[in-house]
């Protein structure tokens, strides 16, 4: 801006030019040729409003005018977690505090990045420094982010935010029962449970039945075994709820793994988007690969026919580990009946407990009372197993007969995790 000492028309033209510059903030693709300390310039190439420094030696970037009129928005057109957009006006570089809104073309499936006008892909973080999880961004969601100098911090609510009512290890309902094909079908009653990561509340709104003798497939009355595995003889299978955090759809399946490792690696399960799980019970097959009949009430599982797991005549005063018919990989409270013959008394305890020799007068006493020489005595037993489904039996003398049945177990189903 310079009003030259000239004729009236020229002076008026200079004044009009100066006023136009003031009104438009000297808007233009190139900087004004004549500058003054603290003057303003709207750089139309970058969109920034700039101000001359006090020494009139450089331009300082104040902010992008696009932020004021909502123009710092674009739609993503990518088909993966590497989101990309093109803004207009074109930003020259990322800067701390740069705020951007974009519409995601696809839901994310894990950690994600955003590349703005090919300035370089920057990681999108939630909660300041955490990578995104599957489903945090939904297809069609408008995402608000701010650049912090290294990453984009996500300001908009993540789509997969779990309900605030989620309680650690919560479980209600979800009892198991034999369905139409009692040898192979397991039904799951309605209920809800927190997933194994304590982040999502899984709600089963209708009874769901899965088949242990068929390859896993989506839905009710469909297969429940992971691809490539067939139901085995005399094998324990854990029953897992499966959860898609993006669609909130619930399914289930069987796995020898307590962490559903094989199910979650199954091609069909992956394709259906199931990434979360919660173990809700366990079933045992017999020698013909049929599920042994049981009943469940709450956390109590009871075989319809007790299983004779121990039948020996050589029990000594040294405790012996006995494998019984309870789920593998977890500790449960097992129960059943126990019997012995002759003038002996026996005791049942957890493998990792330090009970002494059974006695009628001192700790730990005994599980059964002493029988006469020609009689048999029986009693109930109840003790904790280890993760190998073992308990300890002991006697106060050598060559003791022990008959022990397993009737069932109490499974907390993850409530203590």
Write the pLDDT tens digit of every residue in 117-136.
999 999 999 988 999 988 89
Strands 112-116 and 82-85: parallel
- Report the relative pairing of strands 376-384 and 276-284 from DSSP bridges: unpaired
Distance CA 167, CA 194 (A): 7
Q: What percent of the chain has pLDDT over 90?
A: 62
Looking at residue 373, what is its pLDDT?
A: 56
pLDDT value at residue 62: 82
Both structure tokens of 54:
């006090």
pLDDT of residue 24: 66
At 280, the pLDDT band (50, 70, 90 cuts) reads very high
Is pLDDT above 60 for 1?
Answer: no
Residues sharing a CB contact under 8 Å with residue 130, sequence separation 6 or more, in sequence order: none
Q: CA-CA distance, 59 to 77, in Å (whole number)?
A: 35
Q: What is the CB neighbour count within 10 angstroms for residue 266?
A: 22
pLDDT of 416 over the 80 cut: yes
φ, ψ for residue 268, nearest 5 deg: -70, -35
Q: Residue 391: its pLDDT value, please?
A: 97
pLDDT of residue 189: 96
Work out the number of other CB atoms within 10 angstroms of the CB of residue 39.
18
SS3 sequence, the chain? CCCCCCCHHHHHHHHHHHHHHHHHCCCECCCCCCCCCCCEEEECCCCEEEEECCCCCCEEEEEECHHHHCCCEEECCCCCCEEEECCCCCCCCCCCCCEEEEECCCCCCCCEEEEECCCCEEEEEECCCEECCCCCCCCCCEEEEEECCCCEEECCCCCCCCCCCCCCCCEEECCEEECCCCCCEEEECCEEEECCCCCCEEEECCCEEEEEEEECCCCCCEEEECCCCCCCCCCEEEEEEEECCCCCCEEEEEECCCCCHHHHCCHHHHHCCCCEEEEEEEEEECCCCCECCEEEECCEEEEEEEEEEEEEEEECCCCEEEECCCCCCCCCEEEEEEEEECCCCEEEECCCCCCCCCCCCCCCCCCCCCCCCCCEEEEEEEEECCCCCEEEEEECCCCEEEEEEEEEEECCCCCCC
Task: Classify burial at 33, counting beta carbons within 10 Å of its beta carbon; exposed 0-12, middle 13-18, buried 19 or more.
Answer: exposed
Residue with tokens 């394709």, as numbered in its chain: 271
| Residue ranges covered by each domain of the chain | 8-64, 75-154, 171-284, 304-410
> Sorting pLDDT into bands at 50, 70 and 90, what band is 2?
low
pLDDT for position 22: 67
Cβ count near 313 (within 10 Å): 11
Return d(Cα 298, Cα 300) in angstroms, integer.
Answer: 6
Give residue 246's pLDDT band: very low, low, confident or very high (50, 70, 90). confident
The 10s digit of each residue's pLDDT in 360-385 is: 788 888 887 665 555 567 789 999 99
Determine if the pTM surpasses 0.85: no
Q: Which band of pLDDT confidence, cut at 50, 70 and 90, is reported for residue 312?
A: very high
Per-residue pLDDT of 83-106, as tens digits, reads 999 998 788 889 888 899 999 999
> Minimal CA–CA distance to 289: which of 374, 181, 399?
181
Residue 71, pLDDT above cutoff 60: no
Q: How far is CA 106 from the centre of its chain?
A: 21
Structure tokens of 366?
A: 């005994």
Average pLDDT over residues 24-37: 84
Residues 6+ apart with CB under 8 A from 13: none
Mean pLDDT across the chain: 89
Rg (CA), the chain: 36
Is residue 69 scored above 80 in pLDDT?
no
Residue 102 has a CB neighbour count (10 Å cut-off) of 23
Q: What is the pLDDT of residues 249-270, one digit of tens each?
A: 999 999 999 999 999 999 999 9
pLDDT in tens, 151-176: 999 998 877 655 555 688 899 999 99
Average pLDDT for residues 301-327, to the nearest whole number?
A: 95
Between CA 9 and CA 4 the distance in angstroms is 11
């Amino acid at each position: 801006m310079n009003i030259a000492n000239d004729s009236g028309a020229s002076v008026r033209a200079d004044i009009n030019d100066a006023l136009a510059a003031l009104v438009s903030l000297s808007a233009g693709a190139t900087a004004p040729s004549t500058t003054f300390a603290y003057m303003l310039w709207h750089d139309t190439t970058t969109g920034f409003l700039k101000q001359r420094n006090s020494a009139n030696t450089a331009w300082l970037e104040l902010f992008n005018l696009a932020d004021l009129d909502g123009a710092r928005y674009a739609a993503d057109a990518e088909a993966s977690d590497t989101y990309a957009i093109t803004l207009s006006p074109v930003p020259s570089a990322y800067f701390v505090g740069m705020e951007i809104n974009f519409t995601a073309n696809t839901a994310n499936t894990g950690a994600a990045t955003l590349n703005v006008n090919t300035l370089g892909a920057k990681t999108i973080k939630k909660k300041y420094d955490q990578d995104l999880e599957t489903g945090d961004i939904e297809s069609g969601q408008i995402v608000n982010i701010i650049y912090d100098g290294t990453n984009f911090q996500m300001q908009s609510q993540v789509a997969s935010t779990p309900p605030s009512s989620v309680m650690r290890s919560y479980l209600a309902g979800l009892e198991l029962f034999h369905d139409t094909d009692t040898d192979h079908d397991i039904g799951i009653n309605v209920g809800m449970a927190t997933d194994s990561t304590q982040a999502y509340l899984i709600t089963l709104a209708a009874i769901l039945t899965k088949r242990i003798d068929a390859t896993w497939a989506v839905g009710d009355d469909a297969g429940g075994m992971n691809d490539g595995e067939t139901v085995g003889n005399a094998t324990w299978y854990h029953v897992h709820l499966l959860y898609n955090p993006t669609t909130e759809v619930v399914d289930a399946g069987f796995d020898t793994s307590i962490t559903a490792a094989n199910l979650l690696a199954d091609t069909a399960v992956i394709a259906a988007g199931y990434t979360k799980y919660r173990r809700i019970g366990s079933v045992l097959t017999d020698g013909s690969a049929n599920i042994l009949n049981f009943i469940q009430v709450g956390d109590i599982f009871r075989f319809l026919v007790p299983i004779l797991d121990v039948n020996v005549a050589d029990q000594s005063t040294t405790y012996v580990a006995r494998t019984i018919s309870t789920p593998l990989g977890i500790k449960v409270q097992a129960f059943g009946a126990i019997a012995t013959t002759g003038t002996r008394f026996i005791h049942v305890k957890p493998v990792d407990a330090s009970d002494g020799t059974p006695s009628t007068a001192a700790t730990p006493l005994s599980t059964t009372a002493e029988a006469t020489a020609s009689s048999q005595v029986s009693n109930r037993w109840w003790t904790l197993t280890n993760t190998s489904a073992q308990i300890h039996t002991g006697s106060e003398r050598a060559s003791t007969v022990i008959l022990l049945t397993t009737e069932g177990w109490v499974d907390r189903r993850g409530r203590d995790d």
